[in-house]
C-alpha cells in the first residue's frame, strides 16, 4: 500500500532588513514490508511449510500446512470477506493423541499461525473460522 506523497513549502520574507525564513519539507509514507500482510499461507507459516489441505467456508479459507524438516503442522485462516476490517478469526490444529492448539483473534486479514509438533505419519485435523462460519477437515495422516 502506498500513501500519497505530500510536499509542503513555506516562505516568509520581511522587508526592512528583517530575516527571511524559508521552509521546505517532503513527506512520503509507505507501509513497510514488516507491516504488510503476507499473501499466502506458506508465507504466514514460514519457510519450508507446504499446504496439505484447505477448507473454504462462507467468509474465509482454513489451511493446514506441514514442514517435514521441522516435523510441525501449521494452521492459519484467511478471511475472504471484510478483508481490512478487524473481525474475529480463529484457527486450530489437532494432532491425534497430542491435543489441540488454537488461536483466536480480532484481525484484518488472517490469524497468527498455530503450530503443533506432528511427526510424519501423525493423524492431524484442522479447522478455522470467523464469528459466523467455520470449516475444517477430519483426521488425515501427514505425509
Mean pLDDT, 10 residues at a time, over the chain (143 residues)? Answer: 37 41 38 53 96 97 98 97 96 97 95 95 97 95 90
Residues 118, 95 contacting (CB under 8 angstroms): yes
**Residue 41, all three cell numbers:** 499461507
User: Is the residue at 14 inside a domain?
Assistant: no
User: Is the residue at 28 inside a domain?
Assistant: no
pLDDT of residue 12: 38
pLDDT of residue 38: 52
For residue 118, the 8-state DSSP code is -
pLDDT of residue 24: 40
Query: For residues 121 and 124, what is the distance between their CA atoms, to the nearest angstrom?
Result: 9
User: Is the residue at 22 inside a domain?
Assistant: no
Q: Which residues pair with 128 in a beta bridge?
A: 91, 135
User: Is the residue at 133 inside a domain?
Assistant: yes
User: Is the residue at 100 inside a domain?
Assistant: yes
Query: For residues 141 and 49, what is the distance between their CA atoms, to the nearest angstrom?
Result: 16
Domain region containing 112 = 37-141
For residue 42, the 8-state DSSP code is H
User: Is the residue at 18 inside a domain?
Assistant: no
Q: What is the CATH number of the domain that holds 46?
A: 2.60.40
Number of domains in the chain: 1
User: Is the residue at 32 inside a domain?
Assistant: no
User: Is the residue at 27 inside a domain?
Assistant: no
pLDDT of residue 143: 83
Which stretch of DSSP H or E encloses residue 41?
helix 41-45
For residue 108, the 8-state DSSP code is S
Query: For residues 14 and 20, what is the distance between their CA atoms, to the nearest angstrom?
Result: 6
Residue 136's nearest CA partner among 52, 59, 56, 78 is 56
Query: For residues 140 and 143, what is the distance between their CA atoms, to the nearest angstrom?
Result: 9
Amino acid at each position: 500500500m502506498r500513501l500519497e506523497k505530500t510536499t509542503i513549502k513555506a516562505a516568509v520574507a520581511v522587508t526592512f532588513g528583517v530575516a527571511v525564513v524559508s521552509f521546505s519539507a517532503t513527506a512520503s509514507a509507505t507501509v513497510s514490508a514488516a507491516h504488510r500482510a503476507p499473501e499466502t499461507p506458506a508465507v504466514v507459516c514460514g519457510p519450508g511449510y507446504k499446504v496439505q489441505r484447505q477448507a473454504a467456508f462462507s467468509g474465509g479459507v482454513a489451511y493446514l500446512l506441514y514442514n517435514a524438516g521441522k516435523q510441525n503442522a501449521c494452521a492459519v485462516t484467511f478471511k475472504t470477506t471484510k478483508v481490512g476490517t478487524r473481525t474475529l478469526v480463529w484457527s486450530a490444529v489437532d494432532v491425534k493423541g497430542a491435543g489441540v492448539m488454537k488461536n483466536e483473534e480480532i484481525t484484518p486479514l488472517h490469524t497468527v499461525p498455530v503450530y503443533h509438533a506432528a511427526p510424519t505419519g501423525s493423524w492431524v485435523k484442522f479447522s478455522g473460522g470467523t464469528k459466523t462460519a467455520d470449516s475444517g477437515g477430519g483426521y488425515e495422516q501427514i505425509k
